[in-house]
């Protein structure tokens, strides 16, 4: 009795078809994983940039407001620059107000109150500079410059972001 090997009765996949399906599925999964990895790196970079920009803008606003509302500036003196800003205020509880840099953090000391950190541990401040641009018998005008960088202890490129902030503020006349 002859065996009837009709293809109509066979059900299933051949070994070649199965290998092809796995290869296509593996390729799709590889593409999806690469896209997911790229999205995570972009998200990290954007988070670092957003953190630096927000903290830099906030710190600059605090310092320029302190200068504008000050009675006068004692450090730096007219025509000089330095890494510390001392502002004499009209409010006794916060007089003097001192802005300075310590271990990569911008800090403020108001009167006899303890020193307060103005920047978070997510950023590092470098190149802090205050310049008194005033001339004799004119209100103190202070130029502020500092560089803020995202904290990146492992030097990963997706966490690398820095920005130099600059502003000028003048003491308001009473």
% helix / strand / coil in the chain, to the nearest 5? 35, 30, 35
Would you state the pLDDT for residue 29?
Answer: 93
CA 108 to each of CA 71, 116, 148: distance values in angstroms, whole numbers, following the listed order: 17, 5, 16
Residue 130 lies in a domain: yes
The phi, psi pair for 132, rounded to 5°, reads -90, 110
Residue 1 lies in a domain: no
Residue 140 lies in a domain: yes
Which residue in 174, 172, 158 sits closest to 39, CA to CA?
158
CA within 13 Å, CB half, 8: 2
Residue 4 lies in a domain: no
Q: How far is CA 14 from the centre of its chain?
A: 57
Residue 6 lies in a domain: no
Would you state the pLDDT for residue 153?
Answer: 82
User: Does residue 74 contact residue 96 with C-beta atoms inside 8 Å?
Assistant: yes
The phi, psi pair for 31, rounded to 5°, reads -65, -45
Residue 116 lies in a domain: yes
- Is cis: bond before 168, omega within 30 of 0? no
Residue 153 lies in a domain: yes
The phi, psi pair for 21, rounded to 5°, reads -60, -45
Tokens 């005033």 sit at which residue?
Answer: 134
Would you state the pLDDT for residue 5?
Answer: 55
Please, what are the averages of pLDDT over each run of 10 residues along the chain (174 residues)? Answer: 57 84 93 89 88 96 95 91 93 91 95 94 95 91 96 84 95 79
Compute how many other C-beta atoms are within 10 angstroms of the C-beta atom of residue 84. Answer: 12
State the total domains in the chain: 1
Would you state the pLDDT for residue 154?
Answer: 84
Residue 71 lies in a domain: yes
User: Which 3 state secondary structure label does DSSP give 91?
Assistant: coil
User: Does residue 141 contact residue 170 with C-beta atoms inside 8 Å?
Assistant: yes
Would you state the pLDDT for residue 38?
Answer: 87
Domain that holds residue 113: 13-170
Would you state the pLDDT for residue 116?
Answer: 95
């Amino acid at each position: 009795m002859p065996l009837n090997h009709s293809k109509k009765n066979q059900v299933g996949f051949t070994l070649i078809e199965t290998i092809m399906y796995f290869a296509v599925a593996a390729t799709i999964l590889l593409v999806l994983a690469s896209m997911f990895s790229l999205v995570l790196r972009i998200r990290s970079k954007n988070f670092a940039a957003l953190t630096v920009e927000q903290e830099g803008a906030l710190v600059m606003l605090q310092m320029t407001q302190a200068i504008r509302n000050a009675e006068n500036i004692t450090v730096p003196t007219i025509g000089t620059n330095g890494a510390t800003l001392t502002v004499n205020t009209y409010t006794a509880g916060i007089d003097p107000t001192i802005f300075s840099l310590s271990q990569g953090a911008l800090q403020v000391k108001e009167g006899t109150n303890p020193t307060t950190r103005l920047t978070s541990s997510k950023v590092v401040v470098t190149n802090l500079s205050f310049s008194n641009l005033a001339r004799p018998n004119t209100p103190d005008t202070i130029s502020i410059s500092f560089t803020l960088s995202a904290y990146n202890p492992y030097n990963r490129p997706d966490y690398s972001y820095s920005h130099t902030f600059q502003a000028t503020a003048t003491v308001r006349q009473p």
